[in-house]
Amino acid sequence: MPEQHRLIDIIAATITKQAKTQGASRVLSATIKIGELASVTPEVVQACFARADKPGLEDIVLHIEIVPLLGTCAKCQTTVEIDNTLCCRRCGGPYVEIGDHNTILLESCEFA
């Protein structure tokens, strides 16, 4: 997989990967959490994504939430929203590493 730095590409790749995992051919909607970035708003991300012309994702309804901080669990490698427990929501491990600020989390996905 080629290195991807652009936020829109990362979002598209994440959704496509999830669709493949589920064996789905069409994605209806996706809810994505993005770690807080300077001047990035849900509206900006949605507008960019709509213009990005990603094959198979043209009609997708994208829900974007900006969250203060995302990290990756050192134990189970899950990307989680860091809350006041500082622990992984999936495995409960206390070793959540604060990711770089491009970290995104695919919260949910709806397939056809």
Q: Assess contact for 67 and 85: CB atoms under 8 A.
A: no
Q: Assess contact for 71 and 99: CB atoms under 8 A.
A: yes
Tell which one of 10, 93, 106, 107 touches Zn ion (CB under 5 A). Answer: 93
- Burial (CB < 10 A; 0-12, 13-18, 19+), residue 80, is buried
45 binds Zn ion (CB under 5 A): no
91 binds Zn ion (CB under 5 A): yes
87 binds Zn ion (CB under 5 A): no
Tell which one of 76, 83, 98, 101 touches Zn ion (CB under 5 A). Answer: 76
74 binds Zn ion (CB under 5 A): no
Tell which one of 73, 82, 104, 105 touches Zn ion (CB under 5 A). Answer: 73
54 binds Zn ion (CB under 5 A): no
Instruction: Return residues touching Zn ion (CB under 5 A).
Output: 73, 75-76, 88, 90-91, 93
